[in-house]
Structure 1
Amino acid sequence: MEIKLDKHSTNQASIKINLNEADYQPKVDAKLKDYAKKANIKGFRPGKAPFGMVKKLYGTSVLVEEINNILSSSLNDYIKEQSFKILGEPLPVVEDADAIDWKNQKEFEFEYKIGFVENVDVTLDKSIKATDYSLKVDKKAVNDAIENLRRQYGKMTNPEVSEENDFLYGDLKAADGSYEQTLSLPLSKMDGRSVKKFIGVEKGAEIEFDPSKAIKSDLSEVLNISEEEAAKISGNYTFTVQNINRTEDAALDQEFFDKVFGPDQVKTEEEFVAKVEEILGDNYNKETKVFNEEKIKEILVEKANIELPEAFLKEWLLKANDGKVTEADVEKEFPIYAKQLTWSLISNKIAEENEIKAEHEDVIAKTQDMVREQLAASGLGAQMEDNMDMFVNNYLQGNEGQNYMQMLTAVQNDKVLSLVKEKISLKEEKIDIDKFKELIEN
């Protein structure tokens, strides 16, 4: 057997494997003899068929199977011995494989295309500069959050006279009789001039207006009709009020505090405001943490300057997904894939050089945090804590074990980024939410 590496460029090559009869025939003969002992061929007792007949029936399939086994193990062993880091999987040159005469050939040559990177060089020091943004929680954000909570936990009432931001339930009719619908009309969706007609009215009131001019937001959404239907809504319409619906904001009392945060978690208005501010701060900082770390990754990716085998990777992605994606899909998504792959190479190199490992206990802890966040978002937080082990196990065992591997990678990334932040020059800066939105947009 002979294996040769032919480098076409700094990151693409081909591996050629030459096999002669001595490399594969002993294994083929041994497999055929084993077949002959067990073969059940018509006209012969089990295991008594002539070897020549067994070879004629099964020889080619056994030859293909054994050569494929030799190729697979030889290729893998050869790649492990190399100093470069292979990307994706070796791609067999199909044209050569199709030309093989399995019945008559004695010597075979197989070729595989590979993509690789020779070296990933990452030096972490104070010359690398990044900004660690954190968000200031201003009073307006806290007040807005409290107003939303009071509205969310408020109670519905049916007053006699309408006010701004009420919902009017009633019948909408076109003057020419071409359209009629019963709906709930949100006054907050109407423009400032038109809404005056709907404020201060009682049940039974009839209001004439043009919906296409009066409703300032998406007309199809407000009327719950298609965009095509909404395009036809214009001219004189009458709305007859059947009922007035209003949400009264919840009072800042213990009942409200308990609904929002659970029994006796906060007991005064001051404690409630402080708790809202704390949660907003936590949420803001989760967003800025993700943003900050993505920026650090971008800096390291640029500094590492890793040249990927782009043509090979695009071909491999197309074949690996086996008809699930098109060339256009690969072209469109490749920049994102390339960035993720480059960061993965950098992260693995830093982890290797600094003996960073993701332990099983770390995976469990990170998964627990994720599950807690999901439960809290659905309002099930504390009462489901006793079932935490079940939730964690179900998640990590799901998706044929891929969830566990993804969480393992996430843990390693967390540890790598923590180390990076210690090694580089990180400038802390507090910003407001408007500045943060501007940073994200840019």
Structure 2
Amino acid sequence: MDITLDKKGNTEASIKISLKEEDYQPQIEEKVKEYRKKANLKGFRPGKVPPAIIKKMYGKGIKVEEINQLVSQSLPKYIKDQNLNIVGEPLPNYDDAENIDWENQKDFEFTYDIGFVDDFEYNITDGLKVAKYKLELTDKEIDETIDNLREQFNDTENVEDVAKDDIVNGKVVQKEGELENQTSIDLKQLDEKQSKVFVGAKKGDEVVFDIRETHPEDSDVAVLLSKKPEEVAEVKGEFSLSIESVLRRKPAELNQEFFDKVFGKDAVKSEEEFREKVKETMQENYDRETNNLLMLDLRNTLVDNTNFEVPQEFLKRWLLEKNEGNITQEQIDKEFEDYVRDLRWNLIVNKISEDKEIKVEHEDVKAKARQMIEEQLGQSGLLGQLGDNLDPFVDNYLQGENGNNYMQVFNQARNEKIFDFIKESATLEEKKITVDEFKEEVEKRQ
């Protein structure tokens, strides 16, 4: 077998694999022996079918299979042995394949186009300087967050008249039809024009409204009438609501019940402790957001400051062939710049990981999954209910989706380790910043 590399530039090349009969014939003979053992033909004892008959019946298929297998094994081995840092996947020359005479041809040539990048250097010490923002919370922001929490965990009280954002309960009846249902309408979910027809009414009143003005979507009408969306597609016109009760939201009281709802039972036991816990939680959230921005800035700066060529034309062709029928050339051209930046970043990350021998163990993956689940459940207030059952929950999650969950968490843990290394090596200038200023910085990068 003869394999040659023909470089067509700094980032593209073709690999030619030349096979002679002696390269693949031994494999064919072995495969014929296997077929003989399994063949069951009239007139021949099992395992005694002459090789010539096996070759006549299955020879072409065996030849195609063995040559393709030989090529598919040789190509990646050659790429690895030559230490070629390829991007995408090798693209075969389809014209060569179509012109093969499998019946009579003895010598074969297979050509593959590849895109690659040469070795490159990155600088994460002298050349990497970014701002590390530190958010300073004010009493005003803490007060606003507490007010939002009180609204989120609101109480309700019965009132006589309807005001904006109230919940109106009663019987809704179609004016010209047979539809009716015991229901409730949350005016907070309607816009001002839609809710205006109900505002000012009182308990015991009957309010007439156009159902498609207040509930334009089939899904909304279905909820109102306790039907399936497909059952209400043609429903329209006037309905009346006989108001039986009106519920008004009021902010939750700053008491133990409210504290427990927000942070779990007995996590805080006074307004002072509650305020401090809110501040601590806000700071943790903002620290996470500022860290995300820092990671983005480190990534962008490192990509901008690391120079190497990528095979752009090859990548466009590879993307089009790989996603045949699912993506157009126009879409590739439109999104190509972002794709190239992602590719450059991945190549840099892989090189850093290899150079610095950054590894991710199973315990790292498990710890990352646990952290993610704690954050998700903490937001919904379910974390405390699991108690000591979180570890089985983590294990079940990592085993889900046929291993995809595990790989996603693995990649996140790996990226965090690499970012930690980059942060330790880079020059970071701490800058104190307000919440509003931070939001402006985020908007600049969008």
TM range (shorter): 0.7 to 0.9
The secondary structure found in structure 2 opposite 1:119 is coil
- CA separation of 1:361 and 1:102: change in aligned 2, threshold 3 A: same
In 2, Cα distance between the equivalents of 1:383 and 1:237?
A: 44
In the alignment, residue 375 of structure 1 is paired with which amino acid?
A: L
Q: Measured at CA, do residues 403 and 172 of structure 1 come closer, stay the same or move farther in structure 2, by a change above 3 Å? A: closer
Tell me the SS of whatever aligns to 2:47.
coil
- Tell me the TM-score normalized by structure 1: 0.85
Moved over 6 A (4+): 170-174, 180-183, 187-190, 194-197, 206-212, 236-240
Match runs of 1:1-12 below 5 Å: 1-12=1-12
SS at match of 2:159: coil
Asked if 1:430 corresponds to 2:432, the answer is: yes
List gaps (5 residues or longer) in structure 1: none
- 1:55 Cα deviation after fit: 1.0
2:105 maps to 105
**Counterpart residue identity of residue 263, structure 2:** F
Classify the secondary structure of the residue corresponding to 1:244: strand
Q: 1:397 to 1:219 in 2, by over 3 A?
A: closer
1:321-370 alpha-carbon deviations (Å, 9 max, x no partner): 45444444444443333222211111111122222211222111111111
Q: Which residue of 2 aligns with 1:361?
A: 363
SS in 2 for 1:158: strand
* Mapping 1:25-64, distance limit 5 Å: 25-64=25-64
**1:272-295 per-position Cα deviation (integer Å, ceiling 9, x unaligned):** 111111112212222221122011
Q: 1:276 to 1:328 in 2, by over 3 A?
A: same
- Corresponding residue number in structure 1 for 2:187: 186
Q: In 2, are the aligned partners of 1:14 and 1:112 still within 8 Å (CA)? A: yes
Task: From the superposition, tell whether residues 47 and 162 of structure 1 become closer, same or farther in structure 2 (CA, over 3 Å).
Answer: closer
Deviates more, 1:309-318 or 1:125-134: 309-318
Question: Partners in 1 of 2:273 and 2:48 — Cα distance?
Answer: 89
Give TM-score scaled by structure 2 length: 0.84
Residue 165 of structure 1: CA displacement? 4.3
Deviations 1:165-190, CA, capped at 9 Å, x for gaps: 4345579999x999x99863637966
Show CA shifts across 1:90-141 (max 9, x none): 1111111011001101110000111111113112213321111232323233
For these two proteins, the number of residue pairs brought into alignment is 428
Instruction: Give the distance between the partners of 2:325 and 2:388, measured in 1 at CA.
Output: 45
The answer to whether the 8 A contact 1:125-1:423 is kept is: yes
Residue 289 of structure 2 aligns with an amino acid whose one-letter code is E
Match of 1:265 in 2: 267
Report the Cα offset of residue 163 of structure 1: 5.0
Rounded to whole Å, the distance in 2 between the matches of 1:309 and 1:33 is: 45
Whole-angstrom CA distance in 2 between matches of 1:38 and 1:196: 82
Task: State whether residues 87 and 117 of structure 2, in contact with CA within 8 Å, keep that contact through their aligned partners in structure 1.
Answer: yes
Judged with a 3 Å threshold, the aligned counterparts in structure 2 of structure 1 residues 237 and 431 are, in CA distance, closer, same or farther, namely: farther
In 2: Cα distance, 1:197 partner to 1:401 partner: 52
Deviation at 1:302, TM superposition (A): 1.0
Distance in 1, matches of 2:420 and 2:255, equals: 42
- Pick one of 299, 312, 315 that aligns with 1:313: 315
**CA contact 1:158–1:245 (8 Å) conserved in 2:** yes
Q: Distance in 2 between matches of 1:163 and 1:353?
A: 65
How far off is 1:5 after superposition?
A: 0.8
Q: 1:185 to 1:102 in 2, by over 3 A?
A: closer
Aligned residue identity for 2:255:
D
- Structure 2 unaligned spans of 5+: 223-232
Q: Which residue of 1 aligns with 2:296?
A: 294
Cα RMSD (Å): 3.5
Amino acid at match of 1:427: E
The answer to whether the Cα contact below 8 Å between 2:124 and 2:422 also exists between their aligned partners in 1 is yes
Residue 68 of structure 1 corresponds to: 68
CA distance in 1, matches of 2:52, 2:240: 94
Equivalent residue letter for 2:435: I
What is the distance in 1 between the residues matched to 2:118 and 2:424? 28
Once residues 105 and 395 of structure 1 are traced to their aligned partners in structure 2, the CA distance between those partners, rounded to angstroms, is 54
State which of 229, 241, 245 in structure 2 corresponds to 1:243.
Answer: 245
**Aligned partner letter, 1:135:** L
| Aligned 8 A contact 1:168 1:187 in 2 | no
Whole-angstrom distance in 1 between the partners of 2:207 and 2:59: 89
Residue matched to 1:276: 278
Distance in 2 separating the partners of 1:127 and 1:108: 50
SS in 2 for 1:427: strand
User: CA, structure 1 residues 304+150, in 2 after alignment: closer, same or farther (shift >3 Å)?
Assistant: same
**What residue is the counterpart of 2:159 in the other structure?**
159
Instruction: Summarize the Cα distance change of 1:197–1:68 in structure 2 as closer, same or farther, 3 Å threshold.
Output: closer
On the 8 A contact 1:351/1:416 being kept in 2, the answer is yes
Structure 2 distance, partners of 1:390, 1:253, is: 34
Higher mean displacement: 29-38 or 416-425 = 29-38
Distance in 2 (CA, whole Å) between partners of 1:319 and 1:390 is 43
For 1:116, the equivalent position in structure 2 comes to: 116
